Amino acid sequence: MRLLKKVTAVALASCMAMSLAACGGGSSETTKAPAENTAESTEAGDDTAETTEAGGEADATEAPAADGPVANKDKPLVWFNRQPSNSSTGELNMDALNFNANTYYVGFNANQGAELQGTMVKEYIESHIDSIDRNGDGIIGYVLAIGDIGHNDSIARTRGVRSALGTAVEANGAVDSTPVGTNTDGTSSYVQDGTLEVNGKTYTIRELASQEMKNQTGATWDAATAGNAINTWSASFGESIDVVVSNNDGMGMAMFNAWSMAQGVPTFGYDANSDAVAAIANGYGGTISQHADVQAYLTLRVLRNILDGVDIDTGIGTADEAGNVLSADVYEYNEAERSYYALNVAVTADNYQDFMDSTVTYAPVSNQLGEDHAAKKVWLNIYNSADNFLSATYMPLLQKYDDLLNLEVEYIQGDGQNESNITNRLSNPSQYDAFAINMVKTDNAASYTNLLNQ
Ligand code: BGC
Ligand code: CA
């Protein structure tokens, strides 16, 4: 019964996500409750039995790794934040997601979050209609900072904003997410002028400019590049910019600090990093929490469960002995995609006081595990030490959860440019019990799995 209820709730959330016109490359069609994984756990359990017999030791609660050496290719692996996928088509890399029976992805529902972001911006415009059009030309102009044109999350957010504001056009059956460059005259074929009717008056909404914020060395989601872009844009058509939107807070805050705060131009981001939430008091328009507190937990919890040889749902959909459990309103599991997705929440002037510290663990899963969960070694990398979200929000959370879950995590931080900068530091995978990987580029899963296959 409980399972049934949960499936319904999750299916409902999925439907909400699917109602987004921009819905492409959906992450939520085949949502099922996580309990389906019992098969794997049982398998792991069987292995334990064999190992135990052979080793003559009778500790049935120990994970398979405890007695005999587990081959690196069979160790638990969690991809997170960058889902193995084709950066041109968005198609999931199912080989990487099924690298072994203990492989998963942890991220968030990109379409649901994108719809929230677009709606948040639209509602802000509607409720500030009397003051939003700064030069009074009847056109509400916005600029958009794009993170990474080959990253599913970035694409979803661009689509979500364009769909909500009526500026989206279709290309190959989905909303076009191509950056326009500059479009001050409204002639770009990647977007169209939208119309918005408020209080009986019709306004035009125009995407004046958008660009991928990639720096000289190739790092994406680059905050400094976004700060430079707003300076360039505002110098040539600043009086037309009424709203600033960004695929994330790192870039959004760079633009806010460089230009829009002083101009009183509302700026919207994504991630709910602490500095962005605090800036709402100074005119930052709003952001979206992707529930990093839930994602960071899931990233390590999934590994913990596999290492413990218990049902994968333990401490997730099913309470563990310490009382840790997540409810269906904060995450969903998609069995076909081997993926856990946290759900998003809009953070605006109405509720930002509740989100001031993005590094606080999520209370329902903040109970310390006992010492019977033996310490295990995890190798984990962050693709770019300069990424605001990962370094200011996600990693501090991981560092709190690793204590709560008795995991010894080695954190490796990359340069955001080359996979080899990271893989070079995985020279001896045999030293670790499990791996959590954040690729530089979503196409590059094999750079890691090749090392584990050796
Ligand atoms: C975050 C971005 C971050 C990116 C890195 C996204 O989910 O919203 O802030 O730069 O992940 O992969
Ligand atoms: Ca205007």
Q: What is the pLDDT of residues 256-311, one digit of tens each?
A: 999 999 999 999 999 999 999 999 999 999 999 999 999 999 999 999 999 999 99
Q: Is residue 304 part of a domain?
A: yes
Q: Greatest CA separation found in the chain?
A: 82
pLDDT in tens, 83-125: 999 999 999 999 999 999 999 999 999 999 999 999 999 999 9
Number of domains the chain is built from: 2
Buried b (16+ CB within 10 A) or exposed e, 24-41: bbbbbeebbbbbebeeeb
pLDDT at residue 41 above 70?
no
Burial class from Cβ neighbours inside 10 Å (0-12, 13-18, 19+) for residue 429 reads: middle
Q: Checking phi first, is residue 168 left (phi over 0); if not, alpha (psi -120 to 50) or beta?
A: beta
Instruction: Give the residue numbers spanning the domain of 421.
Output: 28-108+291-343+359-453
Q: Is residue 353 part of a domain?
A: no
pLDDT band at 65 (very low <50, low <70, confident <90, very high): very low
- Distance from the CA of 147 to the center of ligand 1, in angstroms? 8
Q: Are residues 367 and 406 in the same domain?
A: yes
The Cα–Cα gap between 57 and 48 comes to 10
Q: Are residues 302 and 439 in the same domain?
A: yes
CATH code, 266? 3.40.50.2300
CB 349 within 8 Å of CB 381: no
Ligand nearest to the CA of 131: 2
pLDDT at residue 356 above 70?
yes
- Count helices and strands (H / E) in the chain: 15, 17
> Is the CB of residue 82 below 6 angstroms from any atom belonging to ligand 1?
yes
pLDDT of residue 190: 98
pTM, to two decimals: 0.86
Q: Are residues 296 and 285 in the same domain?
A: no
pLDDT at residue 32 above 90?
no
pLDDT of residue 47: 39
> Is the CB of residue 333 below 6 angstroms from any atom belonging to ligand 1?
no
Tell me how crowded residue 70 is: count the other CB atoms within 10 A of its CB. Answer: 20
For residue 334, report the phi and psi dihedrals to the nearest 5 degrees: -110, 105
pLDDT of residue 173: 94
> Is the CB of residue 153 below 6 angstroms from any atom belonging to ligand 1?
yes
Residue whose entry in the numeric block shows the structure tokens 């595990």: 369
> Hey, which of 111, 153, 215 would you mutate to test ligand 1's pocket, going by the most ligand atoms within 8 Å of its Cβ?
153
The Cα–Cα gap between 393 and 401 comes to 13
Burial class from Cβ neighbours inside 10 Å (0-12, 13-18, 19+) for residue 215 reads: middle
pLDDT of residue 67: 60
Query: Both tokens of residue 62?
Result: 């120990």
Average pLDDT value for the chain: 89
Q: Are residues 226 and 263 in the same domain?
A: yes
Better pLDDT: 58 or 247: 247
- Distance from the CA of 442 to the center of ligand 1, in angstroms? 12
pLDDT at residue 152 above 70?
yes
pLDDT of residue 68: 74
pLDDT in tens, 242-263: 999 999 999 999 999 999 999 9
> Hey, which of 389, 395, 417, 441 would you mutate to test ligand 1's pocket, going by the most ligand atoms within 8 Å of its Cβ?
389
The Cα–Cα gap between 78 and 104 comes to 5
pLDDT band at 14 (very low <50, low <70, confident <90, very high): very low
Q: What is the mean pLDDT of residues 366-377?
A: 98
Q: Are residues 86 and 52 in the same domain?
A: yes
pLDDT of residue 305: 98
CB 274 within 8 Å of CB 357: yes
Q: Are residues 91 and 151 in the same domain?
A: no
Q: Are residues 332 and 273 in the same domain?
A: no
Burial class from Cβ neighbours inside 10 Å (0-12, 13-18, 19+) for residue 81 reads: buried
pLDDT at residue 12 above 80?
no
Closest CA to 165 of 22, 286, 348, 276: 22
pLDDT at residue 53 above 50?
no
Q: Is residue 146 part of a domain?
A: yes
The Cα–Cα gap between 17 and 114 comes to 9
Q: What is the mean pLDDT of residues 59-64?
A: 43
For residue 92, report the phi and psi dihedrals to the nearest 5 degrees: -65, 145
Q: How far is CA 394 from CA 58, 356, 382, in A?
A: 38, 15, 9
Q: What is the mean pLDDT of residues 237-241?
A: 98
- Distance from the CA of 344 to the center of ligand 1, in angstroms? 14
